[in-house]
Structure formats: C-alpha cells, structure tokens
C-alpha cells in the first residue's frame, strides 16, 4: 500500500504573476486539487460520495504553508500528499509540491481538518471504520512541528542544489 500518493501537474500561464512565477494563492489550488485526486485514487472514495453517504465531511481549520523555491510557468511539478495525524475529530495532511524529478521541494502545506457533521452543523468523531482507513495511510514524520519540517526541506534543497 502506498502511503504517499502523487501526481504530475503542469503550471498554467494564467496562474502566474507578471514575471512568470506561480501566484502564491494558486499553490493552494494546485495542492488541494491534487489531494482530492489522491483521496479518490488512494483511499477509494470522493469527498462528494462520502458526504452523500455519511452526511459528514472534513472542514479545513488551519493551513500552514511555506514557499521554498519559486515555480515558473509551464513547469511540470510532482504533488504528493500523505496523512500525518489522525485523531478522533482532527486530522492533518502534508502536501508537497516538488520538481518533476522530486529533487527540489517548491512548497510544503500542512492542512489541519476537522470531521464535520453536515446535519448537526458541529464537529463529530470519526466513525471507527473511517479512522481505521486513515490510520492505514498514516505516516510518522521525524519532524513533529511545521517549522522543523520546513527547515529539513530547506536543507534538502541546498544539498540537491550543490550536488
């Protein structure tokens, strides 16, 4: 079973600023769209199907993002995601935007989500079967906080550049 799922995307001209760099807010769009694809291909469901079946969904309550290296128009990037925390109500996902060869990390996003019941309009506990599914994909990171994780990737990018 693959715990980190990835796909390739091409950066579009309309998503870039006047000097040809990907606009900061567009990083989020590319990363969130990729995560949606990853959930379907890796976890076997779409958010729409899950919500229709259970009446529940996940609501983002916090995003932490770091931009490590600019991405230019027409670049092909690899976007990967993995579950890094699963709780009764709250979970956390890491999404990376990398160069096509995976050697350079362009951006890192930690997205914290809460399980939300659409009928009661309140947070709810994950059902046991859903929690078990996400726990199968759980990745334990050496770096336990966002700042340390960003520092790790900055170091990795410097090593890759000097190699």
The secondary structure of the chain, three-state, reads: CCCCEEEEEECCHHHECCCCEECHHHHHHHHHHHHHHHHHHHHCCCHHHHHHHHCEEEEEEEEEEEECCCCECCCEEEEEEEEEEECCCEEEEEEEEEECCCCCEEEEEEEEEEEEECCCCEECCCCHHHHHHHHHCECCCCCCCHHHHHHHHHHHHHHHHHC
Short-list 82, 75, 77, CA closest to 97: 77
Residue 3 pLDDT level (bands cut at 50, 70, 90)? very high
Q: What is the CATH number of the domain that holds 117?
A: 3.10.129.10
Domain hosting 75: range is 5-162
For 95-154, the pLDDT digits (tens) are 999 999 999 999 999 999 999 999 999 999 999 999 999 999 999 999 999 999 999 999
Total number of domains in the chain: 1
Q: Rounded to an integer, what distance in angstroms lies between the CA atom of residue 12 and that of residue 75?
A: 8
According to DSSP, the residues that pair with 50 across neighbouring strands are none
Nearest residue to 94 (alpha-carbon basis) of 78, 111, 107, 79: 111
Provide the pLDDT confidence category of residue 159 given band limits of 50, 70 and 90: confident
What's the rounded mean pLDDT across residues 63-83?
97
Q: Residue 163's pLDDT is what?
A: 67
| Mean of the per-residue pLDDT values of the chain | 95
Q: Please tell me the predicted confidence (pLDDT) of residue 2.
A: 87
Residue 69 is predicted with a pLDDT of 96
Q: Cα Rg for the chain, rounded, in angstroms?
A: 17
Please, which residues bridge with residue 104 across strands?
none
Quote the pLDDT of residue 84. Answer: 98
Let me know: does 23 contact 158? Beta carbons within 8 Å: no
């Amino acid at each position: 079973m693959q715990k980190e799922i990835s796909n390739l995307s091409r950066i579009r001209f309309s998503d870039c600023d006047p000097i040809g760099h990907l606009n900061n807010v567009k990083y989020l769009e590319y990363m969130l769209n990729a995560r949606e694809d990853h959930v379907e291909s890796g976890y076997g469901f779409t958010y729409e199907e899950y919500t229709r079946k259970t009446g529940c969904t996940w609501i983002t309550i916090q995003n932490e993002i770091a931009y490590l290296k600019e991405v230019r128009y027409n670049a092909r990037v690899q976007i990967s995601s993995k579950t890094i925390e699963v709780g009764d109500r709250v979970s956390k996902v890491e999404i990376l935007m990398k160069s096509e060869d995976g050697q350079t990390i362009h951006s890192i996003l930690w997205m914290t989500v809460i399980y939300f019941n659409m009928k009661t309009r309140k947070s709810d506990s994950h059902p046991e079967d859903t929690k078990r599914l996400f726990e199968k994909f759980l990745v334990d990171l050496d770096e336990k906080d966002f700042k340390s994780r960003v520092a790790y990737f900055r170091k990795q990018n410097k090593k890759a550049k000097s190699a």
